[in-house]
Amino acid sequence: MVTAGNNCTVALKSDGTVWAWGNLIELGFYDKQPVNTHNKPIQISGIDNAIAFAVGEMHFVVLKSDGTVWAQGRNNQGQLGYGTYY
């Protein structure tokens, strides 16, 4: 499964790992790269056993095999579902 976001692309591999490339800062990944843009896929740490995901304009959500949903990225309109707007 591969989906393009606003300025990035996210992929789910058959082993349940999630990989991303492009401007990852918009998804909330700050990996200390000078521009935080990756032209090669990097594995998103902490996300495993994923079975589905969706990418928004500046956020993404992952459904894991245990039924939990994980969200990360910008939350200025409450899109992460945390009950906050930050």
2-21 pLDDT tens trace: 988 777 888 999 999 999 88
Chain centroid offset of residue 67 CA: 17
Q: Is residue 80 part of a domain?
A: no
Number of domains in the chain: 1
Higher pLDDT, 75 or 10: 10
Closest CA to 24 of 14, 15, 16, 34: 34
Identify whether the C-beta of residue 11 lies closer than 8 Å to the C-beta of residue 38.
Answer: no
Residue 34 lies in a domain: yes
In a domain, 24, yes or no: yes
| Distance separating alpha carbons of residues 61 and 76, to the nearest angstrom | 15
pTM exceeding the 0.85 threshold for the entire prediction: no
**Domain annotation covers residue 81:** no
Task: Give the Cα separation of 42 and 85 in Å (integer).
Answer: 28
